């Protein structure tokens, strides 16, 4: 069996399969179902400085080949994370990525400062959440504001700084380049695509927050295109995501330039998707005589 | 994968499906049910309607793509069940009432069976249906007394003073009305909430229920909650 271990900047990953923020909680629940230390990594539920209750009303709605969510960053806050979740995660033999979000630049900075002394290797800066009334995605839809926030956060952390990009932009390569100029060590993409649903009989919008984020296989071709565009534009490692449900899907993102991939909605389709995808990637490598994923990364 | 034993239509759009296998579970718990490979992406949370050696049953209504697919499955077809998940109803003794509204009768049949085995002082069952009686015959053998309402309010038939514990499942306005009616009577009301779910195990937070004690996960902390903890904190989905 081939080894799918990869380098992600200065860090080694045992395999390129990372669980995407918001679909995996803080790992505990899936840990009761399978050995999550077999994963390449886990990106935590998005943490904000203060605890948040999230959005009201319906939070999930299915679409053809996908789903929309409007959770709105319900999370225990950075202190709650440190007190209740961090210990379990630090015991795992896998890379832990702390996903940080917020509405104001000061809140992002303060949250990042408070996790600086943890053992976790990577901060994933979420400037792309479509489900907040203010902030969130607003930082990531303009190159100047993306540059400003990444520059500010860069001052507050020695950890690997990965910026998670929104697909709800005109030129994603421009935003990625701005983040790298401001000091980002890596880029992850894509967050969900802003979307909407209507109950035509009640004549109402499904979501209290009007719009929600679309994910799942429905978005995969768009995500793949954007990963390809960003990979051509920047020279930092990329975590690609968007509707990946199989090892074959993951390989396509790696060929498009991703070093690692994140798995989100697929976790709901199959709770054991993570380790299955690792196996499928390694089976592909065996079949195609690929000794290392670096041989095929960015070949397109 | 498990094998379907039967998939019977009980009324317009309402079915009971039986699946072969040795499944675990207690009253009020649920399974994530999937009768397809990839699409629709989400599995469907269905509460345990009945459980016995070698067999589990679920009651469901066709509400969308997933339940439509399930309804087309035949005896002998395969289906995937993940679970059991959720907290389930607490063990109860003394004077007990079960109050079900329509498809809300789904978790109550197994609750009736389980409670009956505990020999309560009395077990009364109240069932309400919008248009027709879909399954009261499944309950009669467990009840000391059974009352059925069609087209009205099932909550009008019950006097909470007669009970120590009330288990309810049905539309939110019904469960809210019952919770309010029981306030101050000494009867403890437990309700089973229904929410759209994605992971089913407490990780994704799409099924959050607002309670007196803050947000709770319907799939993991629920689906059974004390009625007074949920109403009036939970916002009715409109």
Q: Enumerate the domain spans of chain A.
A: 6-295
Instruction: Establish if B238 belongs to a structural domain.
Output: no
Q: Which among B85, B104, B136 is the end of a domain?
A: B85
- Chain A CB contacts of B210 below 8 Å: 53, 56
Q: Which among B63, B85, B107 is the end of a domain?
A: B85
Domain shared by B26 and B60, yes or no: yes
Whether A88 and chain B come into contact, CB under 8 Å, resolves to no
Structure tokens given for A138: 């607003």
d(CA B105, CA B135): 8
- Tell me the CATH number at B29: 2.40.30.10
Per-residue pLDDT band for A130 (boundaries 50, 70, 90) equals confident
**Catalytic residue numbers of A, as ranges:** 129
Domain shared by B171 and B54, yes or no: no
pLDDT of residue B237 exceeding 70: no
Locate the DSSP E strands across chain A. Answer: 6-8, 11-13, 17-19, 41-43, 60-63, 66-69, 95-100, 122-126, 160-164, 186-189, 193-195, 198-199, 204-205, 212-215, 238-241, 260-263
Please indicate whether, in this complex, the C-beta atoms of B208 and A59 are within 8 angstroms of each other: yes
- Chain B CB contacts of A53 below 8 Å: 210, 214-215
- Chain A CB contacts of B196 below 8 Å: 58-61
- Chain A CB contacts of B86 below 8 Å: none
Domain shared by B57 and B100, yes or no: no
- A6-295 topology per CATH: TIM Barrel (3.20.20)
Instruction: Establish if B236 belongs to a structural domain.
Output: no
Domain shared by B56 and B6, yes or no: yes
- Chain A CB contacts of B237 below 8 Å: 57-58
pLDDT of residue B234 exceeding 80: no
- Residue A189: the pLDDT is 98
Instruction: Establish if B237 belongs to a structural domain.
Output: no
Per-residue pLDDT band for A279 (boundaries 50, 70, 90) equals very high
pLDDT digits (tens, 9 = 90+) for B48-83: 999 999 999 999 999 999 999 999 999 999 999 999
**Which residue, chain included where needed, has tokens 């390129």?**
A16
d(CA B177, CA A167): 45
pTM for this model (two decimals): 0.95
Q: What percent of chain A has pLDDT over 70?
A: 98
pLDDT of residue B156 exceeding 90: yes
Question: Do A215 and A245 touch, CB atoms closer than 8 A?
Answer: no
Task: Please calculate the CA angle B202-A22-A179 and round it to the nearest 5 degrees.
Answer: 165
Q: What are phi and psi for residue A279, nearest 5 degrees?
A: -60, -40
What is the average pLDDT across A256-260?
Answer: 98
Domain shared by B113 and B169, yes or no: yes
| CA distances to B40, B50, B195 from B53, in Å | 31, 10, 29
Which of A59, A80, A277 to mutate to test binding with chain B, by most B CBs within 10 Å of its CB? A59
- Residue B236: the pLDDT is 52
What is the average pLDDT across A163-171?
Answer: 96
Domain shared by B47 and B101, yes or no: no
Residues paired with residue A115 on neighbouring β-strands, in sequence order:
none
Please indicate whether, in this complex, the C-beta atoms of B206 and A64 are within 8 angstroms of each other: no
Whether A80 and chain B come into contact, CB under 8 Å, resolves to no
Instruction: Establish if B35 belongs to a structural domain.
Output: yes
Domain shared by B105 and B221, yes or no: yes
d(CA A36, CA A30): 7
Domain shared by B34 and B144, yes or no: no
Instruction: Establish if B222 belongs to a structural domain.
Output: yes
- Residue A135: the pLDDT is 63
Instruction: Establish if B129 belongs to a structural domain.
Output: yes
Would you give the distance in Å from CA A34 to the centre of its chain?
A: 21
pLDDT of residue A61 exceeding 90: yes
Among A34, A3, A274, A13, which Cα is nearest to A122's? A13
Angle between the N-to-C axes of helices A143-154 and A172-181, in degrees from 0 to 180, rounded to the nearest 10: 30
Give residues with Cβ within 8 angstroms of A300, minimum separation 6. Answer: A228, A255, A256, A257
Domain shared by B142 and B50, yes or no: no
- Chain A CB contacts of B64 below 8 Å: 62
Domain shared by B143 and B203, yes or no: yes
Which of B41, B68, B201, B209 to mutate to test binding with chain A, by most A CBs within 10 Å of its CB? B41
Please indicate whether, in this complex, the C-beta atoms of B38 and A267 are within 8 angstroms of each other: no
pLDDT of residue B238 exceeding 70: no
Give residues with Cβ within 8 angstroms of B137, minimum separation 6. Answer: none
Report chain B residues touching chain A, CB-CB < 8 A.
38-43, 64-65, 82, 196-199, 201-208, 210, 214-215, 220, 235, 237-238
- Residue A128: the pLDDT is 84
Give residues with Cβ within 8 angstroms of B206, minimum separation 6. Answer: A59, A60, A69, A71, B195, B196, B197, B198
- Residue A151: the pLDDT is 96
d(CA B203, CA B66): 22
Would you give the distance in Å from CA B209 to the centre of its chain?
A: 16
Among candidates B197, B201, B238 on the partner chain, residue whose Cβ is nearest the Cβ of A271: B201
Computed over every residue of chain A, the mean pLDDT equals: 96
Domain shared by B99 and B191, yes or no: yes
d(CA A174, CA A163): 13
Query: What's the structural domain count of chain B?
Result: 2
- Tell me the CATH number at B179: 3.40.50.80
Domain shared by B19 and B41, yes or no: yes
- Count of A–B CB contacts within 8 Å? 90
Q: Which among B85, B107, B124 is the end of a domain?
A: B85
- Residue A129: the pLDDT is 76
DSSP letter (8 states) at residue A47: B
Whether A271 and chain B come into contact, CB under 8 Å, resolves to yes
pLDDT of residue B164 exceeding 60: yes
Instruction: Establish if B90 belongs to a structural domain.
Output: no
Question: Do A59 and B205 touch, CB atoms closer than 8 A?
Answer: yes
Range of the domain at B56: 2-85
Whether A99 and chain B come into contact, CB under 8 Å, resolves to no
pLDDT digits (tens, 9 = 90+) for A177-213: 999 999 999 999 999 999 999 999 999 999 999 999 9
């Amino acid at each position: 069996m081939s080894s799918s271990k990869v380098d992600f900047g200065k860090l080694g990953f045992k395999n390129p399969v990372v669980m995407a923020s918001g679909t995996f909680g803080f790992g505990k629940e899936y840990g009761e179902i399978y050995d999550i230390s077999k994963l390449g990594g886990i990106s935590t539920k998005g943490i904000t400085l203060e605890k948040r209750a999230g959005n009201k009303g319906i939070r999930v709605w299915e679409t053809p080949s996908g789903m929309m969510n409007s959770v709105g960053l319900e999370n225990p806050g950075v202190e709650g994370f440190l007190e209740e979740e961090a210990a379990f995660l630090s015991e795992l033999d896998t890379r832990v990525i702390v996903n940080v979000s917020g509405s104001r630049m000061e809140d992002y900075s303060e949250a990042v400062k408070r996790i600086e002394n943890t053992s976790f290797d990577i901060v994933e800066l979420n400037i792309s959440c479509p489900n907040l009334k203010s902030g969130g995605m607003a930082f990531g839809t303009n190159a100047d504001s993306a540059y400003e926030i990444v520059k500010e956060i860069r001052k507050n952390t020695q950890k690997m700084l990965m910026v998670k990009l929104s697909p709800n932009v005109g030129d994603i390569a421009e935003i990625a380049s701005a983040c790298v100029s401001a000091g980002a060590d890596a880029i992850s993409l894509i967050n969900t695509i802003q979307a909407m649903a209507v109950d035509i009989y009640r004549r109402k919008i499904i979501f209290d927050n009007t719009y929600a984020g679309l994910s799942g296989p429905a978005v995969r071709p768009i995500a793949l295109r954007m990963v390809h565009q960003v990979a051509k534009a920047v020279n930092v490692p990329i975590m690609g995501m968007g509707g990946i449900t199989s090892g074959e899907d993951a390989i396509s993102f790696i060929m498009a330039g991703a070093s690692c991939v994140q798995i989100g909605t697929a976790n709901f389709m199959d709770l054991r998707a993570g380790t299955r995808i690792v196996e499928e990637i390694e089976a592909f490598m065996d079949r195609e005589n690929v000794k290392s994923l670096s041989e095929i990364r960015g070949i397109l | 994968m498990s094998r379907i034993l039967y998939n019977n239509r009980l009324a317009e759009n309402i079915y009971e499906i039986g699946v072969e296998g040795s499944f675990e579970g207690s009253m009020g718990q649920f399974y994530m049910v999937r009768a397809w490979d990839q699409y629709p992406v989400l599995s469907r949370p269905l509460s345990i309607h009945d459980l016995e050696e070698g067999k589990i049953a679920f009651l469901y209504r066709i509400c969308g793509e997933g339940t439509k697919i399930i309804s087309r499955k035949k005896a002998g077809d395969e289906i995937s069940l993940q679970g059991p998940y959720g907290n389930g109803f607490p063990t109860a003794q003394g004077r007990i009432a079960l109050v079900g509204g329509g498809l809300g009768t789904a978790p109550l049949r197994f609750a009736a069976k389980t409670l009956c085995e505990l020999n309560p002082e009395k077990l009364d069952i109240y069932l309400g249906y919008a248009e027709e009686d879909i399954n009261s015959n499944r309950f009669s053998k467990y009840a000391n007394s059974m009352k059925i309402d069609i087209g009205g309010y099932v909550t009008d038939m019950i006097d909470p003073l007669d009970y120590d514990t009330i288990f309810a499942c049905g539309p939110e306005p019904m469960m809210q009305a019952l919770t309010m009616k029981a306030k101050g009577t000494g009867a403890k009301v437990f309700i089973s909430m229904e929410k759209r779910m994605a992971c089913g195990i407490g990780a994704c937070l799409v099924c959050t229920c607002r309670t007196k004690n803050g947000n709770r996960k319907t799939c993991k902390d629920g689906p059974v909650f004390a009625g007074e903890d949920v109403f009036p904190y939970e916002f009715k989905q409109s």
